[in-house]
Structure 1
Amino acid sequence: MNHSTLKETLAVIGSTLVLGACGGGGGGSSAPTVELPAARSVAASGGANLSDTNFVALTSPAIQALLASVGGSGALEQPLSLERTGAQSATGFKPGNRLAQTLITWSLGQAQSRLDALAPREQLQALSSGSEGCSYGGSFSFTLNDADGNQQLSTGDSLTINFFNCVEIQGEPAVNGGFSITVNAVELDAAKNPVRLDATVSFSALSVQGLGSLTGSARLWEVPVSSGGTHSVLRYSGMQSTFGATTVVLDFDVDEVSTGASSTASINGGLGVQGQTYQLAQRQAFAGTADGQPDSGTLSVLDAQGDRVDIIAHGLLVDREFYPSGATTPTAVLRDTPWSSFTQAQ
């Protein structure tokens, strides 16, 4: 697997593990049991209603929720964000979909480094806990459960972490709240790095100062692809994403295929806005080279009657087009809204 080390806050809290480029299993690994889930579909609720007069008001928080659902821009990646670091700029981009993956990457690194350091007596206890300071203020505490006592990552192992005004990059916002990970299945290479992973994650008011918070659960599946990249599915299940005075419910999958030179991301499932669930269906996968945002791709938001709004990425801008059920041309449009207008701190 190949995950670039991200410059955002949590990505470098502890760069103890990168899911490095690797294509198969090795010594000390469990049998590969990780399979990607089937494509997800969530129906719109009966009261969901889009119209040519409300589509802007309803899809604005929807877009903002999608962008802010993993912490908001400026500190963490978002599902629709296509991060380009200096090393990536010559070869392409990588879709965001990164908070769970970043936290899992970091947490597994934390877990493995602590497992490696366990003394025999501690190993028998299979449980360790402690706290550490963050580089630029604050701290985090942890509890690690090595469920089978084998001193390596394996099914059933778990790690719980709580952040207390933790700042790891000078000038970046502080992180607060809790996060836990439980390994459902994992295949390791000879260096004990995950090659295939199935993990459940839980967030407890996990927040980045000024950029919203997450409470609820998600699941991540990740496997290598033949081209040397990765295919991952991040599944939000009833997760509450709060930014400012707005709370939405995330029930969608982010399906990402990332190779060395290209990446795409598709979002499918449901999004709860103002007490109603709207269906999300990717019509054309998000892709692109624009810093921070996708510059191509189309995501549809649908109501119970089949009315839809197409969210269309083009460069640093996004269009919205409203289609009544059965229509082939839009009856209302809003053109050229900057992506950045949806990622401002609330």
Structure 2
Amino acid sequence: MHGAGGNTGADDARWLAAAARLAARGRPLSRPNPAVGCLIVRDGIVVGRGWTQPGGRPHAEAAALAQAGDAARGATVYVTLEPCAHRAGRGPACSDLLAEAQPARVVIGQRDPDERTRGRGMERLSAAGIAVATLGCPASRASLAGYLTRAERGRPHVTLKLATSLDGAIATAGGESRWITGAAARAHVHSRRAMADAILVGGGTWRADAPGLDVRLPGLEARSPRRLILSRSIEAPGIEVLPAPQAIAGLDAVNYLYVEGGAQTAAAFLAADLVDRIELYRAPIVIGGGAGAIGDIGLASLAAAHGRWHLAERRQLGSDTFEAYRRQGQDQPQDGN
């Protein structure tokens, strides 16, 4: 860690976690840029805050500095991602803006993997006499899950959503599936859709249910994600069709992919090891003999199933239970709430 100034590590982590929550406001409309959060703190009081705006500009630091004005001088800046170092036609580099504003410290939650900035933003701040601290903050990394997954794995961050009965069914034996969960859980699903760049279902689900795959929450309708279908044969005018789960790597401007079903599609993504987060909605009902939530994923032994998933979140939604699981070894993505 570079110059830590007078603040404790606990204070830095707390402010960075707050900046990460702020960053969620920019997701997913900040695309193609990552959703970044920035707080400017002086004597324990927030004097400026910002998050990446729709279309990627202004950046979080620019918005926070504009709000703070002269109060930024001598303050501490908390930012979830290393301030950019490359100048673009759409706006100045954030590291230059910060160098001009002259805060005492800049605390960074995650180094930028973009080679145009990687390390250069920090170097520019240090050259301007500003103390720089890098924490490797889990909350910052989680808030940037889509951007970092794209940079590190060459594909979007994938969330698999399941809605089941207590005995793991997604429909009755006759195919009836509306509605397994209650209104509160379904509204929560729509809030999760609003955080995604694209939403995907399998061809079987598309044929059987013709789902809207949109966001139907008042005020958030415009955040409906791109619609995708996983199929080798289906034709759906106006909707993108992918032949295999691995094709998600070629999706332009998609950092967060929300996979809703059905069982074979869920199995295909799990078998290809392309799921980063599972979001499970469980209703207090027993169906018995119903359709299972996930098809065969080629599991060789029960032992191979253990140690793969870690509980990241649990909450009650009316009579239903929501649980989120992240892949073992990965930081917990933000839920946006």
The structure with the largest helix share of the pair is 2
TM-score in same-fold range (> 0.5): no
Larger radius of gyration: 2
TM-score, length basis structure 2 = 0.25
The structure with the largest strand share of the pair is 1
Structure number with the bigger relative contact order (C-alpha 8 A, sep ≥ 6) is: 1
